[in-house]
A and B are shown apart, each in its own frame.
Chain A
Amino acid sequence: MTPLGNNVRDTWLRVTQGKSGIGPITLFDASTFNTRIAGEVKNFNFERWLERNPPLASATRSTFFALQAAAEAYKDAMLKPFSVDSRRFGLYFGAGDSGIDFEPFIKTLMASFGPGAELVDKGKYLHHAPEHMSALRELESQPFMTVTHLTRLFDIRGPVSNCLTACAASSQAIGEAYEWIKRGDADVMMSGGSHSMVYPLGIAGFSLLTALSTRNSEPEKASRPFDKKRDGFVISEGAGVLIIEELQHAKKRKAHIYGEVVGYGSTADSYRLTDMDPEARGASEAMRIAMTKAGIGPADVDYINAHGTSTSVNDSLETTVIKKVMGEYAKKIPVSSTKSMLGHMIAAAGGVEAIFCLLAMRDSIIPPTINYEEPDPELDLDYVPNVARRTDVNVALSNSFGFGGQNICLALRRYDGA
């Protein structure tokens, strides 16, 4: 579920065509905000889900995205009820939080400004909240509810977790799901993530941190990772869900295998909250750990799906990281940021990007970094500018660096049938 399509096929087709999913914000009136653009999911039929599942009436956008993507993944993996032992079917998800239920909150708050010393009269707030707020919507806004719905609808009775490590969440979820299977705690795992921060306080928050692009007049050109004129990231929304399975289990049920998860590295920058470590030790270490676990070296890497947010600092530091880790191979490895087309889906980003790495292996095509028009002299890697590239991909790395200094790298490999 992405701003470029409500399924894998449509999204992948447009990603390989270099299309942008960014446009003006329509979910609320953002006409006076500094940033008025985002990558919104379009034409999604919420009603179709509600007809069959009335308990979803209060669920959040993000939960619906997760369910839709999960249904597609479940079907694509040819899973059916009772086709797997539900107690060996687990879930490690990276579902984002859904923010404040805005309208009822405003109504409550407007009735609660007091004459006293404190701006908001807490007693009044508590009195007025039940008049405007819905218990179920409050419950649904909690970050675990996506998981609650997923386990129920897909009969997942194995181990369950949800991590929320900002922009690294769904990559981390995939890494941990892989570890659970390796350990033998489950045969099949559903993983990935979902998120929507396209709401007033989400835009306001990142805007105040000066992290967002303000190229409002050219939405499709706003996300321009590694380009000299990049001016921030573009928030988007959606979900990316993968079915990860123990190899023998997949073979036994003759499942189609897209690729193999072979490495996972997780580190913290431990530097400063608002800045990335200029030496980028944490991010480099995450890549090294993933590669060591995968038993691969720089010469083996055919593609890196970059975190590539289109902020000045990230893209410059990520370039440094790749140079540090890949050494003489750095300039030979194609590096692209699919965020140039999709924007930044925050907690959901890594799930979708891992899917792209696997599809690059299947179709021997590397998605481009679009809007790459003016090279930044310091940023001199092969960013697969503007046009997808036909080439075999056997090994791909996917980087995800979360706000606050959380770094994840996943190593994925084409399945060779052995």
Chain B
Amino acid sequence: MTRHRVVVTGFGVISACGNGWEPYWDSALQGRSAVREVERLKLNGFSFKYAGTIRDFDPKQYVENRKSLKVMSREIQLAVGAAKLALQDAGLFGTAYDQSRFGVTLGTGIINNDLDEIGVGFKNAIDGSGRFSMAKFGQEGVRSLFPLWFLKYLPNMPACHVSIAYHLRGPSNTITTSSAAGAQAIGEAYRVIERGDADIMLAGGTDSKLNAMGISRFHLLGLLSKRAGLPEHVYTPFDERHDGIVLGEGAGILVLESLENAKRRGAPIYAEITGYGSSSDFNFDPRDEDDFTGKRVAMRRALEDAGIEHHDVDVIVANGSGVPQGDIQEALAIHSFCMGSFDKQSVTALKSVTGDLVYGSGGVEAVIAALIANKRVVPPVTNLKKPYPECPLPLVRDKAKSADVTNVMFNNFGFGGQNASLVFKHVKA
């Protein structure tokens, strides 16, 4: 079976850093966090102070069909927006590509309902005694909901909207493996091109948990950081002060393309994707500090797929969620993966730049991982002052570091125990 080589030819990012990959890359290089005090949500004193909120995204700039906007949740809008930016960056937007050889694979999760939108149905189901009545909900409640309400929240809708907006008729998939979904979607799209089922794929992730249901769920799970301080300094993965996640929102989409196709149309190539591995953690308890084997196995599989050895890896872009157990597990996994010796590797982590995009994190962070392979510069871990002693990794601190980068390992690990790793390789101009 012929295996096609797959390259990265475009990036589309919408995040708290701004629109397009450039402001995101710039923030990462400067070690500048886009986490701010929360403005958009009025939370009436509930202590949720900081987030990587997108401030200047106007969906109308990205969605031509205004009627479509009504059936798009924020996650869908962000995906359609990032997809447009990616197509533009790859020089594909508005060109005549072969639609049947062009597909999309996105990582998404449960899209949370807008409480005001769904709330109407429940408010209209309150009976005379002031209680919720299922009998009333079945009629008046249901009838008062927006008829297409349901369509805004199905997890496969971001990929469907992207395929409709840009006429992509090739393979379409939606991956829902927790915070590993974004990288896994990229890995799966890579496979689709590798085996010849498409020439080009849009791949990445989208998410926004900056809504009441999302915040509530993360709060209940005890995963959120409780620290106070300067907003841009509060999110500190791998630092001794790490105490949890600061949420962000956004979408990151890569254009993956067969090498032949990219060459044929003379597209600039950012990097080659050469490895993908996935696994599930072997123990059940996500808080088990000793269970790093699943994570190591995902990295090993990506490495073997790329046909390289651990000492060929120059940079590891860690998942680094800032949840102490997760950071420790990952540090152990990386340690064990590198067999305890880091002769030339550097490790960085990106979540403190934008906040944690959860199901969408793999999409945006993969953009930086591919850019590291492209530009041979490694951004520092933003907000890393004093590394947590149990995470003894060669973390890049304070400022970006130039390095002779050939292979970049990118980790995206989910809190449900799903893991995905990718390898991006430098391509000589």
Contacts and interface: CB of A to CB of B under 8 A. Distances in A.
Interface of A: 28-34, 55, 87, 91, 95, 97, 100, 106, 109-110, 112-113, 116, 118-127, 129-130, 133-135, 138-139, 141-145, 147-148, 151-152, 156-166, 172, 176, 179, 182-183, 185, 200-201, 204-209, 266-274, 281-282, 285, 289, 402-406
Interface string B56-73: 000000000000100100
B177 A120 contact: no
Contact of B417 (A148, A183, A206, A403): A148
Contacts of A207: 142
Contact of B280 (A29, A134, A148, A176): A148
Contacts of B282: 152, 157
Interface string B144-170: 010111110011110111011001111
A177 to B, nearest CB: 12
Contact of B221 (A125, A138, A206): A138
B126 A110 contact: yes
Contact of B161 (A33, A118, A124, A273): A273
25 contacts: A32-B135, A34-B138, A91-B280, A106-B132, A122-B41, A122-B43, A125-B216, A126-B46, A134-B220, A144-B416, A144-B418, A151-B280, A152-B280, A159-B301, A160-B280, A161-B177, A164-B174, A206-B150, A266-B172, A267-B171, A268-B103, A269-B169, A273-B68, A274-B148, A403-B156
A32 B136 contact: yes
A146 to B, nearest CB: 10
B298 to A, nearest CB: 9
Contacts of A206: 150
B222 interface: yes
A271 B1 CA distance: 33
Given A157-B297, A205-B149, A273 B71 contact: yes
A267 B41 contact: no
Given A124-B44, A152-B284, A164-B176, 17 more contacts: A32-B134, A32-B137, A33-B142, A109-B115, A110-B126, A123-B46, A126-B212, A127-B44, A144-B418, A152-B283, A161-B177, A165-B173, A208-B145, A268-B169, A269-B164, A270-B167, A404-B157
Contacts of A164: 155-156, 174-176
Q: Binding site of B, secondary structure by majority: helix, strand, loop or mixed?
A: mixed
B172 A165 contact: yes
Contacts of A406: 156, 159-160, 172
Contacts of A289: 197
A208 B148 contact: yes
B277 interface: yes
Contact of B43 (A97, A123, A142, A274): A123
B99 to A, nearest CB: 7
Contact of B168 (A106, A119, A270): A270
A405 B157 CA distance: 10
B100 A159 contact: no
A209 to B, nearest CB: 6
* Highest count of chain A CB atoms <10 Å: which of B68, B160, B167: B160
B45 interface: yes
A321 B428 CA distance: 46
A113 to B, nearest CB: 6
Interface stretch (B116-124, B309-317, B390-398): B116-124
A130 B222 CA distance: 11
Nearest to B41: A122
B278 interface: yes
* Highest count of chain A CB atoms <10 Å: which of B145, B148, B149, B174: B174
B385 interface: no
A90 to B, nearest CB: 8
Given A143-B176, A144-B418, A208-B149, A110 B131 contact: yes
Given A33-B138, A405-B163, A183 B416 contact: no
A138 B41 contact: no
* Highest count of chain B CB atoms <10 Å: which of A161, A207, A402: A161
A273 B164 contact: yes
A402 B164 CA distance: 14
B48 interface: yes
A147 B418 contact: yes
A208 B417 CA distance: 36
A206 B215 CA distance: 27
Contacts of B71: 273
Contacts of A172: 173
A418 to B, nearest CB: 20
B42 A282 contact: no
Given A119-B116, A200-B134, A267-B172, A208 B44 contact: no
B325 interface: no
A162 B177 contact: yes
B134 A266 contact: no
* Highest count of chain A CB atoms <10 Å: which of B99, B131, B174, B176: B176
Interface in B266-308: 277-280, 282-284, 294, 297, 301
Nearest to B142: A204
A145 B286 CA distance: 12
A133 B416 contact: no
A268 B110 contact: no
Contacts of B159: 165, 268, 404, 406
Contacts of B216: 125-126, 129, 133
A156 B171 contact: no
Contact of A122 (B115, B120, B135): B115
B188 interface: yes
Contact of A129 (B123, B134, B219, B279): B219
Contacts of A209: 147-148, 150-151
Contacts of B277: 159
Given A182-B1, A404-B154, A204 B217 contact: no
A403 B154 contact: yes
A183 B191 contact: yes
B178 interface: yes
Contacts of A127: 44, 46
Nearest to B278: A159
Contacts of B139: 32-33
Sort A-B residue pairs by CB-CB distance and give the 8 closest, nearest first: A123-B44, A205-B150, A404-B160, A32-B138, A151-B280, A268-B172, A144-B416, A33-B138
B151 A162 contact: no
* Highest count of chain B CB atoms <10 Å: which of A31, A133, A273: A273
A158 B418 CA distance: 11
Given A122-B44, A166-B156, A133 B120 contact: no
A337 to B, nearest CB: 22
A278 B34 CA distance: 46
Given A129-B220, A267-B172, A274-B148, A121 B44 contact: yes
